[in-house]
Every structure is written in C-alpha cells, then in structure tokens.
A and B are shown apart, each in its own frame.
Chain A
C-alpha cells in the first residue's frame, strides 16, 4: 500500500508539472501584453517584474511578446539558423519557466498583473467560499443520490423505480446554469426566501449548493442503482438472507458496501466537474470564490492569477483523486494495488 501511495505521489507531481508547463506556455504565448493597458505608466517595470521580455523556454524562435520600444530588450545568449528557421537560445536560469517554477518551489504564485495583491493572498481569501460550496454540493449530492439509488435499485422494474430514474434523468439533463437562474427566479425573486446573489451568511449558500449538487445527486442515484442491481443477486446476499438477517441489515451492512463502489470511483471525476461547475455557479450567484476570480482573471488577461488558479485547481484535483484511490481499498477489500 505505501509503495502504491509513493508511486502515485510521484505520478501526481509529474501530472502537476505537466499542467504547470502547459498552462504557463499557453498564458505566455498570449498575443496581447498584459502590462500594456492598465499599467501604461509603468509598463517597463511591470514587464521587468514579471520577466515578460524573457523567453519561456531556453530554446526559442522569438520572445512571446512584441518588445516594447521604450524598455530595455532582453538579449539572447546565442542565435543560429537552421535553413529558414532562426533559432535563439538563452540560459535556463533566464527563462520564464525557470523563474516561475523556482518561485513555485519557494511557495509563491507570483503577483497579480492587474491588482497589487499577491496571487496566493487573493486565492486564499477566495478558497473558503469555493470549498464550502463544493463540500455542501457534494453533501447534497450524496444525501439525495445514494438513498434515491438504493430505493430504486431495491424495487427494480416497479413504478417507483421508473419514476425515480426518470427524475434522475431529468436532473442529469438540466444544466446547472439553467437550474440556477430558475431557482433564483422562483425562490429568490418570487417567494423571497433567499437573496438572489452575494454571500454574507449561510443562507446565501443554500441555493448555490443545490444548483451545483443536484446534477451529481441525479448521477449518483443512477450509479447507486446500477451498483445495487449488480450486488443484490450475489451469493453473499443470499447467504445473509438465509441466515435470517432482517432486510434492513442485509441492505445496510452487506449490499450497501458493494452498491456504493461505483459512486466512490465516480468521486474523482465528480470533483473535477464540481470545480468546473463551481465556476458557473459562482458567476450566477455572484459569489466571491475561486471560480469567479478565475473567470474574471481570464477575461482581464491577468495571467499570473489565471495560472495560480489553474495550479490550485489541479493540485486539489490530483490529490483528491489519490485520496479516492486509497478510499477504494478501504471500502472494497478485494482491491489491491500492490
């Protein structure tokens, strides 16, 4: 087990490095210079601080951004031509990639390009909202999804089964960005039970959590039902019944474990989708979470901020996936990774 965890940890670091490389490359290849517009007074300083005049990798064809005439341009170490291709090189230590990873290893995500706060500071003030939203949504999903799936699975091919599963299909098919506004229209604007946007108290997180969680509730209901159908015909269930256990005990202590397995393995992708979903939900309900920050930064071309968010999301995702794999061995003793 510990060998598996160590192996997976190395794998996770590799995945994270890949994502950082990819995301850094994408943001640094952006055609527009984020230092040009709002910071017109201090363009050169901004470029120097973020090292935007440097190449991203040591071997390159051109620096990503058009050099600004008024500023000192970065000089390449050497240049040579292979046929029509003009290749420039720079020392590793001078590249943006080295600079960024170095910064990362020192526990910093750099400074925002549009505000004066550091990325880490901004993210950590937004993270609690997103975490709470995500956890509450997951709670809603499990609380509704698992019982509904068990209920339908135990009554296969009855009216109860069909209606629950049709309802689940409806839930899977309504996008959260449609559900959210509808909930606002009904519960906030018409009935006035909740506030339509903002987040000051726990009440304000109710509608967003339901909006985010309902899709997963429906999906988990389908998964649980499938797992239940698979498990309920197994011999060990018959044995449990034969030795005279109550139906309740059979379902809760014996069948449930097997029925829940597909749900556990779905948790990894579910968390990934929850992160993406929270972007939309935070946008709809105007919540000050990471998702809102991410969209605003992406539209504002605050590339350091975007990069920081991507790294945060990826880290959360990669380690939750690891956690799910470990959880799997706990729930299902047949799974052995070694």
Chain B
C-alpha cells in the first residue's frame, strides 16, 4: 500500500513517496481507535501493577498479602490499620514522645499504653480542626477505624450512630456525647476508636521489646509503626483489599496469559498442520475439532479440578486446552488460502521442509487474525478462571485471584459491599479493556474493513 504523504507535509512536491508496511498501517488505524487505545492503556496499567506487586505492597499500600487486622472487620475504604510488616516508624516526638506515651510514668510503655497512644493518634486524625473536640462534621466524615459495638458499653458503633444520624441541628443523636453539648471529647470518643486490638498492641510491643520484659523502655523506644490507610478497605479477615487486589491481578493476568499461550500453541500447530496437509488428514483433524466443539468442557473441568484438586498449573493447562478449537479453525482457514500462493511454491522449490514452510512462511503471514483472536482469548480465559475460583474450585489460598476475591465479596456483600464492588470492577474493567483492544485490533488488521 503506497501512501504519498504529500498532503500532510504541506504539499511539498519534492517529497519522496514512502510506502507503509501492513503493520505500520494497522498501528496507525489502531491509534485512531480511542476505545482500543484506552483499553491498551488500562491493560498496560494492570500489567504494571501486577508486575510491581512487591513494590506496591511494601511501599505504597504497606500491607502484606496475608496480615490480618481482626479487631474491626471488615473495614470500609479509607479506614486505617497498623501494618505489621512493611511499617514506617513515627518518630518519638510530640504526642509520641516517650513521656507522653508512658502515661503512668513507670518508665516502661505497656500494652495498654500502646493502645492508648494509637487512640490518641486516630482521634487527632479525625479531629481535623485540631480543637481537641469532635464536632458533627468531623464525626460524620471520620474514617472508620472503630471498635465493634460490643466493646463499647452504652455507646453504639460509628456505623450505627451514623446511620441513625439526624440532621446537624439535632445533636442529641451523638450517642457517645455523654454531656450532650454537641461535641465529643477524647474521653468519650476514645472509647470508640480502636486502631489496634489488645493482641495487636502486644505484637507491636514484642517487636520493640528487645529484652522481653513486657515493656518498652526509653532505650528501646524508637517510635511506633505508622497506621496506614486501607484505601479500598479490608476483607472479612481484616486483610488490606488493595494489596490483595493487586496480587489478584498478578494471578488473574498470569493465568490468562499462560492459558492463552497453551491454547495458541495447540491451536496454531493443529490448524496449520490440518490446513497445510489437507485431504484425509485435514478431514480427520477438523472432525475432531467439530466433535470437541459439542462437549461441555467447563463442566468437565469442574469435574477434573473437584476430583484431583486444583493446582495453578493444572488450571492453565486445562483452560488453555479448551480454548484452542476456534484458533485451530481460524489458522486452518488462513493457511488454506495462503498455501496456494507463489511464495510457498518458491520455498518448496528451494527445499524448505514441510514444518519449515508451515512455521516460517505460513504462520507469519497468518499472524494478523492470530493476534486478534489471541487478544480476545485472554479475557475469555480470565473469565473462566474467575468463574472456577468463584465456585471455590480454582485458585486456592494463600494465593488469590479476582475471581476468588469476588467469591469472598459475595459472602459478605451485606456488610462489606466494597469487596465485591472493587474486585468485580477490576475484573470487568480489565475484561472490557481487553475486549475493546481485541475489537480495535480486528478493525485495524481485517482487510475487509480496511477501507475506512
């Protein structure tokens, strides 16, 4: 295809006539397709997140995959928890200076003093105007790092209090506001705040308590781990959802890609061989494909993994093994139309072997449809993996995938809707991006619609 790029270059008559290759042309088309480019962008972003999981976990979310913060579960998005592995220390100054934390002045910081220090920290965070009192606005906008109601005598939990909250003029619904002045002092609100449970406080204590005397002495005290935001909340075991989602991206994308690779290998070899050899071999090979088309493979896979247990390798081999049929048909059709052309004749004349012709000459020329179908296979496989994981038959703990997260989210959708919303959104957005990308690639590479 010759594209005399003269118009774009201001009509310079001396311009050379430059040819564009099929691929360049296709890429130009793809770039014009906004939905496909957005899809490409999103997929790239997801892939970067998946690859960067260790960095994201250790320095952005600062939670590890399995650490549980069980005091208040599940926590909604925006709450805080104290990470136990990738924490950053808050320097021992101001309210966290040793003498301020050691409230009873015995020279040691005890478990309950650690708890109290975190209460005060969280109170200061919620108290945005810093007047030491919580007003209605601060109360309503507070991130919920709060103790479950059974820990707070005579005072409902934030959630309940919020839900029954009347308009600002009726301040009496401040259920924890003992003196009913419309403001909550730390003494009242502190009871509600539970950033760390007693056992978490003990763990933090033990981490810094070098001489195991159940107290942090002034020499041992270097500050306390900084609470971090659970940006997407936590799941029912108090694990940071964002961290798990990023890890899930890793597994979901990996299974999608590897299973697609398996299907690509089988489908391309099968289709190319059948198409090239033709005759009886073709007939038998394609009849096998026809027969397999009518089989309920998903059901057989459920059977397989429920009997033998699911291993991630079994999973992507099995998923790949059921996705190759269409690929085989597409490649066969391409090869049949290509094999009569002169370049194949020429290759045969110079003595290239049959596998050589198939893999070096025919398949590269059939690459367009192969790429398009591969792009569309990835979301299909990801969906199947998610489907199996959702039934509890796919990815098993300690690994997790978007499907497994959605499954957990479904169990707690009444109390923690953010789990299924976040994991479902991640899955749906990625699938949609891959589908848009695949459609865009098809429009860009398919010669039938290449006329614009």
Contact = CB atoms under 8 A, between A and B. Distances in A.
Contact of A26 (B304, B414, B429): B304
A131 interface: no
Contact of B307 (A26, A166, A184): A26
B428 interface: yes
Contact of B424 (A27, A182, A269, A303): A182
Given A11-B291, A173-B379, A175-B386, A22 B420 contact: no
A181 B413 contact: yes
B63 to A, nearest CB: 24
B420 A182 contact: yes
B306 interface: yes
Contacts of B386: 175, 177
Given A174-B428, A280-B391, A314-B296, A184 B413 contact: yes
Interface string A152-191: 0000000000000010011011110110111011000100
B361 interface: no
B92 interface: no
Nearest to A184: B413
A309 B390 CA distance: 20
Nearest to B290: A11
A294 B393 CA distance: 13
Given A178-B424, A298-B302, A279 B435 contact: no
Given A173-B379, A299-B306, A181 B420 contact: yes
A276 B432 contact: no
A295 B391 contact: yes
Contacts of A279: 299, 302, 391
B428 A310 contact: no
Nearest to A297: B306
A327 interface: no
A181 B424 CA distance: 10
A178 B406 contact: yes
Interface in B330-360: none
Nearest to A284: B410
A177 B410 contact: yes
Nearest to A295: B391
B295 interface: yes
A317 B410 contact: no
A276 B299 contact: yes
Interface in B273-309: 291, 293-296, 298-300, 302-304, 306-308
Contacts of B403: 177
B434 to A, nearest CB: 8
A294 B299 contact: yes
B296 A175 contact: no
A298 B300 CA distance: 11
A19 interface: yes
A276 B298 contact: yes
B406 A298 contact: no
Given A172-B435, A317-B296, A29 B379 contact: no
A272 interface: yes
A211 B90 CA distance: 49
Contact of B299 (A268, A275, A321): A275
A318 interface: yes
Interface in B366-388: 379, 383, 386-387
Nearest to B382: A175
26 contacts: A19-B296, A22-B300, A23-B303, A26-B307, A27-B303, A30-B308, A173-B429, A173-B432, A175-B383, A175-B406, A177-B386, A177-B387, A177-B407, A180-B410, A182-B420, A185-B420, A189-B414, A268-B293, A268-B294, A275-B296, A280-B391, A295-B302, A298-B306, A298-B307, A309-B299, A318-B294
Given A23-B300, A178-B427, 17 more contacts: A169-B432, A169-B436, A170-B428, A175-B387, A175-B406, A177-B403, A177-B406, A178-B406, A181-B406, A181-B409, A185-B413, A272-B296, A273-B298, A276-B298, A283-B391, A301-B306, A303-B307
Interface of B: 35, 291, 293-296, 298-300, 302-304, 306-308, 379, 383, 386-387, 390-393, 403, 406-407, 409-410, 413-414, 417, 420-421, 423-424, 427-429, 431-432, 435-436, 439
Interface of A: 11-12, 14-15, 18-19, 22-23, 26-27, 29-31, 166, 169-170, 172-175, 177-178, 180-182, 184-185, 189, 268-269, 272-273, 275-276, 279-280, 283-284, 294-295, 298-299, 301, 303, 306, 309-310, 313-314, 317-318, 321
List the 8 closest pairs (A to B, CB-CB), nearest first: A178-B424, A298-B306, A173-B432, A276-B298, A173-B431, A30-B307, A177-B390, A181-B410
